[in-house]
Amino acid sequence: MSRLRLQRMALPVATALLLSLATPGAAHKHHSILDEDEANKPVDSILWIHIFLQIIVWGFLFPIGMVLGMARSKWHVPLQSCGFVFTLGGYILGHSHGGRSFLAGAHGVMANILFAPIFLQLGLGIYLKLHIHEETIRPWAVRAHGVLGKAYPILGWLQMLFGVIAFRGYCRGGALGQCLAHYIMGSGFIAYGIIMAIMLLVGENWIRRSKRSPEWWDSWVIMLWGIVNTFTEHHGGDWSVKDMQHTVMGVIWWAGGILGIILARNNQVSILAITYAAFSTHVTMSLKRTVVPALIVIITGWAFSNHAQALMISTNVHAMVGYTLMMAGVTRIIEVCFIAPKYTPLPETAVADDNRSEHTLTDNTSNASAWQTSKAFRHLPPFLLTASGVLFMSATDEELRFVDGEGMDHVTYILLMFSIAFLIYSLVVSLIRIWARLSENASSSTGDGSIELSTASKWYAPVPGTDAEAEAARHVIGEDD
Ligand code: HEM
Ligand code: HEM
């Protein structure tokens, strides 16, 4: 059995090794200084293919494959094997392009570092397919493979960003600080939006198991981020207006974060309420939600919208980042106060019960249309956070000077960035749905056609998505939302 498996794995492994061995041979010379001529040559087709191939592999193939792995689909291994072969092909193209030249930088360094997760994941995957040490080492290998696998979208995002930076020659010299601020913070907003979308679509039972409301987690992240910002935004010398603004932004985050943590703590529930809940069948205890993180997002948005910039286009784009953030905050407040489910804590014993859990949109469960409205509305905060992140990442001086030089105005540019945000959010929602759907099928099937299952843990149960889907099926005739 394992011999057959070994034979099946031999092809992708051999291809991968061959490609990687071929890579140094194809290497082009690296530049520490560039002359005008080299920097302005047209980009050759090999580099264009490199860019599109790697975007497809790291932006789509690996994330879809990751979801298939989490759902134990039989397509996981073939898809990821293709991904490895294509990305290693992309490595060769990256090294062997002609045409325009670029300064050596983070993209090349990171590409070498990425060999570690690539070969580690490949090795772990092959080991898992061998089915040895089932009772001892294998469960740990599944965990390691799972953690590393879920880091792939983040690694891909980073390397694609470095690719754009290499392509445009951004972030050198004095521009580095601004790049770091915009790319870290912008990526942070996008990540916040994605986590919110996951919680909205499939994470309800995770939240209930954690026995903390989403705002408790939000407030902790905001507070810790605030502490970092407070001490990292001034680098000696005189305090500029920007230094002061950025530092006080850190202060407001940790100050507000503290209030959020206090208000979202569950032990605020009074003894009286607990006793009442214990004796009443009509009262459900719910996790404490608070509007404080949303308020902080609104205040942060207001600060952005008033952030004067050197270029007019830059001031306009920053203003739009601000308005989008403020809208994200306002919609979140509406969601927390009027739309959201009451998250009731789940007992430890309910770990594997995700598909049958009782939905907690307490007032709405009897009303399918109200449930649909609430579902639709709840996409607003995560989408707007994603959009503000994309806009913020696209608002560095270097980028906007380039856009201005191309004769584009802020309206076109902002619409372009919103389009990118729609695409990113579409991808995220699709991945979540593929996972929910496949997990549902896997749990109802007899097991043939899916790869092996491991035991569920407190934080990872195979089918957390289905309660939302099942809920929809229970209430709606036809397509779910
Ligand atoms: C050819 C290479 C690969 C092979 C042979 C492979 C094999 C496997 C196998 C057998 C499982 C099921 C483990 C079990 O439950 O017993 C699995 C799960 C998984 N794989 Fe892969 N895999 C490969 C590449 C990848 C890559 C590149 C990623 C990342 C994008 C990835 C992400 C995952 C994830 C997230 C899981 C679920 C783990 C969990 O739920 O904890 N795999 N893989
Ligand atoms: C995400 C997966 C990617 C990987 C693993 C990757 C890997 C590589 C590698 C190994 C090189 C050769 C580096 C060197 O010569 O030292 C390279 C070059 C390059 N890549 Fe990528 N790349 C990826 C995505 C992208 C994207 C999305 C873009 C652009 C939008 C891009 C733009 C470039 C450029 C401009 C070069 C030429 C740099 C030079 O000549 O020094 N790459 N890439």
Confidence of residue 450 (pLDDT cuts 50, 70, 90): low
3-state secondary structure of 25: helix
Cα 256 to middle of ligand 2, angstroms: 41
Question: What share of the chain has pLDDT > 70, as a percent?
Answer: 76
CA triple 153-155-161, angle to 5 deg: 100
Confidence of residue 358 (pLDDT cuts 50, 70, 90): very low
| pLDDT for 262 | 94
Give the integer Cα–Cα distance in Å for 415 and 410.
Answer: 8
Segment 266-274 shows an average pLDDT of 52
The 10 Å Cβ neighbour count of residue 409 is 12
Ligand 1, closest atom to CA 150? 35
For the Cβ of 170 lying below 6 angstroms from any atom of ligand 2, the answer is no
Measuring from atom 28 of ligand 2, which residue has the nearest CA? Answer: 163
Which comes out higher in pLDDT, residue 406 or 15? 406
Cα 108 to middle of ligand 2, angstroms: 7
Cα 137 from chain centroid (whole Å): 30
Cα 71 to middle of ligand 2, angstroms: 31
Q: Which of 80, 135, 143 to mutate to test the pocket of ligand 1 (most atoms within 8 A of CB)?
A: 80
Measuring from atom 1 of ligand 1, which residue has the nearest CA? Answer: 81
pTM, two decimal places: 0.83
For the Cβ of 61 lying below 6 angstroms from any atom of ligand 1, the answer is no
49 and 98 Cβ atoms separated by less than 8 Å: no
For 119-174, the pLDDT digits (tens) are: 999 999 999 999 999 999 999 999 999 999 999 999 999 999 999 999 999 999 88
CA triple 44-49-50, angle to 5 deg: 95
Outline where 202-340 has alpha helix (H): 204-210, 214-232, 241-263, 271-279, 292-305, 312-334
Question: What share of the chain has pLDDT > 90, as a percent?
Answer: 59
| pLDDT for 265 | 87
62 and 4 Cβ atoms separated by less than 8 Å: no
Enumerate the β-bridge partners of residue 103.
31
For the Cβ of 205 lying below 6 angstroms from any atom of ligand 1, the answer is no
Q: Which of 78-82, 94-98, 268-272 has the lowest mean pLDDT?
A: 268-272
Give the integer Cα–Cα distance in Å for 329 and 298.
Answer: 5
For 107-118, the pLDDT digits (tens) are: 999 999 999 999
Ligand 2, closest atom to CA 95? 12
Cα 150 to middle of ligand 1, angstroms: 10
Q: Burial, 279: exposed, middle or buried (Cβ in 10 Å; 0-12, 13-18, 19+)?
A: exposed
Q: Which two tokens stand for residue 16?
A: 């991968």
387 and 192 Cβ atoms separated by less than 8 Å: no
Looking at residue 179, the DSSP 8-state letter turns out to be H
For 456-472, the pLDDT digits (tens) are: 444 444 434 334 444 44
Give the integer Cα–Cα distance in Å for 318 and 321.
Answer: 5
User: What phi, psi does 99 have (nearest 5°)?
Assistant: 65, -140
Cα 271 to middle of ligand 2, angstroms: 60
For 47-86, the pLDDT digits (tens) are: 999 999 999 999 999 999 999 999 999 999 999 999 999 9
| pLDDT for 471 | 42
State in Å, rounded, how far the first CA of the chain is from the last one.
43
For the Cβ of 164 lying below 6 angstroms from any atom of ligand 2, the answer is yes
Give the integer Cα–Cα distance in Å for 430 and 465.
Answer: 13
Which residue in 178, 181, 122 sits closest to 152, CA to CA?
122
Domain ranges (residues) in the chain: 1-169, 176-481
